[in-house]
Amino acid sequence: MGSEYIVTLMRHTIEAALWMGAPLLIVATVVSLLINVAQVLTSLQENTVSTVPRLFAVAAATLLLMPWMAHRLSAFTLEMLGDFRPFLH
């Protein structure tokens, strides 16, 4: 098992982690921006007003994206564990 294989393995792992986390981070960022704009317009600076909707939005996005995330994660796992030949050398 050469160093180029380890680098490729790590690159695929980081790429999979980014694909899993990016949609949820995008949802949290968009909801936070919308809430911050609303807070600036209404001069309402309450922490729960900004936290609770963001948590609900991320939870809803997680539930909606769960099938896609599970499929992507299972494909990644099968790709990584599907071929043991590099580990036998």
Quote the CA–CA distance of 25 and 2 in Å, as a whole number. Answer: 34
Answer whether 0.75 is exceeded by the pTM: yes
The three-class DSSP label of residue 88 is: helix
Chain centre to alpha carbon of residue 41: 31
| pLDDT at residue number 1 | 65
**Where are the chain's structural domains?**
3-88
The three-class DSSP label of residue 4 is: helix
The three-class DSSP label of residue 81 is: helix
Q: How does pLDDT run across 74-87, given as a tens digit for each residue? A: 999 998 888 777 66
Q: How does pLDDT run across 2-20, given as a tens digit for each residue? A: 788 889 889 999 999 999 9
Amino acid at 76: F
